[in-house]
Amino acid sequence: NAGVTQTPKFRVLKTGQSMTLLCAQDMNHEYMYWYRQDPGMGLRLIHYSVGEGTTAKGEVPDGYNVSRLKKQNFLLGLESAAPSQTSVYFCGTSGGSSYEQYFGPGTRLTVT
C-alpha cells in the first residue's frame, strides 16, 4: 500500500522542453489535485479532477495540461517548459471535502 506516489522526484529541463509528471494513488479516491509550491507562496492549485475522465482548471493553470484516463493516475504535462515553472509540484488525493487530503512526496522541477 504505497498511498500516493509521484514520478520523477527530481528533474532539470531546458526552456522549451516538455515533460510529464505522473501521480499514482492506490486509495481508490475520486478526487485528485496538482499543486505547485513556490517560496513564500504556499501551495497553489494548478488543475484538479473529480473523477476518471474529468479535469478542471485551478488557480494557476497556464502552461500546464492534465489527463485522468485511469482513476488511479493523474498526469501533469508541461508542453514547453519556462523558467517560471521552476517549482516543487505536489499531487494530492481525497475522498471528498470531509476527508483528509493525502499528498505525494513532491517533484522538484528546475527549468533553466
The reply on whether position 21 binds other proteins by CB under 8 A is: no
Q: In this chain, which of 75, 92, 109, 111 binds other proteins, going by CB under 8 A?
A: 92
Buried b (16+ CB within 10 A) or exposed e, 80-95: ebeeebbbebbbbbbe
Ordered alpha helix ranges (H), 1-112:
none
Count each helix (H run) and each strand (E run) in the chain, helices first.
Answer: 0, 11
The reply on whether position 44 binds other proteins by CB under 8 A is: yes
Least Å distance between CB 105 and other proteins? 6
Cβ atoms of 46 and 76 within 8 Å: the answer is yes
Least Å distance between CB 37 and other proteins? 9
Angle at 83 between CA 40 and CA 13, to 5 degrees: 120
Q: In this chain, which of 24, 25, 48, 87 binds other proteins, going by CB under 8 A?
A: 48
The reply on whether position 71 binds other proteins by CB under 8 A is: no
Site of interaction with other proteins (CB under 8 A): 31, 33, 35, 40-45, 48-50, 56, 58, 88, 90, 92, 94, 96-103, 105-106
